[in-house]
Amino acid sequence: MNSPARRPRIALVAGEASGDGLGAGLIAALRERWPDAEFAGIGGDGMRREGCQTWFDAGELAVMGLSEVLRHLPRLLKLRRAFRDRVLAWRPDVFIGIDAPDFNLGVERWLKQRGIRTVHYVSPSVWAWREKRAQKIGASADRVLCLFPMEPPIYARHGVDARFVGHPMADDMPLQPDRAAARQALDLPADAPVLALLPGSRLGEIQRLAPPFLAAAQRVARAVPGLRVCVPAANAACRELLETLFADPQLAVPNLDLLDGRARTALYAADVVLLASGTATLETMLAKRPMVVGYKVAPMTYRIVKALGLLKVERYALPNVLAGEDLAPELMQDDCTPDKLADAVLHWFRAPQDAAALQPKYLHLHEQLRQDASARAADAVTELLEPAAVR
């Protein structure tokens, strides 16, 4: 336990639920090291429970989609100006921007230029596209806290101080999930084949991916007797859209259960998972389930990205990126068809030995990411706080 000459002040910003969870864990870990520290900024219920004074609520930053951002831009710019001025007047010993790079990196750069030490927690995906962003991020943050081990070497190439702290999701999820308990919780038969379907958490993703995913599930259901299909809906808007799609007779899937949330329980219960590319692929890996990853973006967007060479990776799904090999089939853009998706899913049902061979690889990656992320992040912030102890 440290005994600083004065109480350190730590300002934080989290702009959505996942960031609020990261912030709450970090505040709790910092409180163990600095019991008298003051915390203030932008956050949600989790950060408030840990004693953070929130000048604005995290929900005020939670804007998704280009049209929404444009509509809310004047309000967001006004909020950012008011917030950074208040932070500067408060004179924290360190400012921590948690994810939300569009908001946080600008605030960090402005504060850093005025002598405030800055940390960015959760690196943007510099490993996937526009690596040169790492240099710009370094202009904003004195230190970057990374969730994945391949990220700090990229920042090192650009002279940026970045630390791998591990992934909180790996800390939260058990190394050996309880499938039987998950099936009981979802009222699924203990011995039935189960497919979990996760076509995304954004409405645009669902509109593009749910139709080919459901058509693939139809084909799988014809080939796998007694198949149960679970589809978690991230929120009420997602559920409404999914219900509309399910009402189409051409997309009807037998024995389908639409769930309110409970995605992780569905992953634990499943034999195989068909899902959109994104963070859910990491969660599926940590759940130790074989998966098939599909994704589509708007055709024009895809052509622009390919033409400009913005993507720098051969693999998209996080388990494949982390492993450096193809653990999960990736069916992207024109390959994301019902037939190809169904064939890939059926392989996992028909080749249980291949699914079993994934388990030690998944376990190794889980252990690699399971680093007590909040504690390691707090250690990295404490190194920047130490000078405050003698001021």
* pLDDT confidence of residue 196: 98
CA-to-CA dists, residue 88 to 5, 115, 142, angstroms: 21, 9, 17
Q: Residue range 178-201: average pLDDT?
A: 96
- Please indicate whether the domains covering 9-166+371-390 and 179-369 agree at the CATH topology level: yes
* pLDDT confidence of residue 308: 57
Tell me: pLDDT of 49 over 70: yes
Longest dimension (CA), the chain: 71
Categorize the per-residue pLDDT at 135 as very low, low, confident or very high, splitting at 50, 70 and 90.
confident
Tell me: pLDDT of 183 over 60: yes
Categorize the per-residue pLDDT at 65 as very low, low, confident or very high, splitting at 50, 70 and 90.
very low
* pLDDT confidence of residue 278: 85
Distance CA 166, CA 369 (A): 5
Categorize the per-residue pLDDT at 316 as very low, low, confident or very high, splitting at 50, 70 and 90.
confident
Q: Is 84 exposed, middle or buried (0-12, 13-18, 19+ CB in 10 A)?
A: buried
Residue with more model confidence, 3 or 231: 231
> Is the Cβ–Cβ distance between 40 and 86 less than 8 Å?
no
* pLDDT confidence of residue 133: 83
User: Could you name the CATH architecture of 9-166+371-390?
Assistant: 3-Layer(aba) Sandwich (3.40)
> Mind listing the pLDDT tens digit for each residue in 229-276?
999 998 899 999 999 999 999 999 999 999 999 999 999 999 999 999
Please state the domain extents for the chain: 9-166+371-390, 179-369
Average pLDDT, the chain: 90
Six token digits for residue 76: 């967001």
Six token digits for residue 257: 């259960």
Cβ atoms within 10 Å of 162's Cβ, excluding its own: 24
Look-up of token digits 């084949």: 193
Look-up of token digits 């991230």: 234
Tell me: pLDDT of 307 over 60: no
Which CATH number is associated with domain 179-369?
3.40.50.2000
Categorize the per-residue pLDDT at 390 as very low, low, confident or very high, splitting at 50, 70 and 90.
very low
* pLDDT confidence of residue 305: 60
Tell me: pLDDT of 176 over 60: yes
Q: Where are the alpha helices (DSSP H) in 34-100?
A: 45-49, 66-90
Residue with more model confidence, 11 or 303: 11
> Mind listing the pLDDT tens digit for each residue in 194-241?
999 999 888 888 999 999 999 999 999 999 999 999 999 988 999 999
Tell me: pLDDT of 383 over 70: yes
* pLDDT confidence of residue 100: 87
* pLDDT confidence of residue 312: 58
Cβ atoms within 10 Å of 229's Cβ, excluding its own: 24
> Mind listing the pLDDT tens digit for each residue in 18-46?
899 999 999 999 999 999 999 999 999 99
> Is the Cβ–Cβ distance between 13 and 103 less than 8 Å?
yes
CA-to-CA dists, residue 28 to 32, 34, 166, angstroms: 7, 10, 17
Tell me: pLDDT of 366 over 80: yes
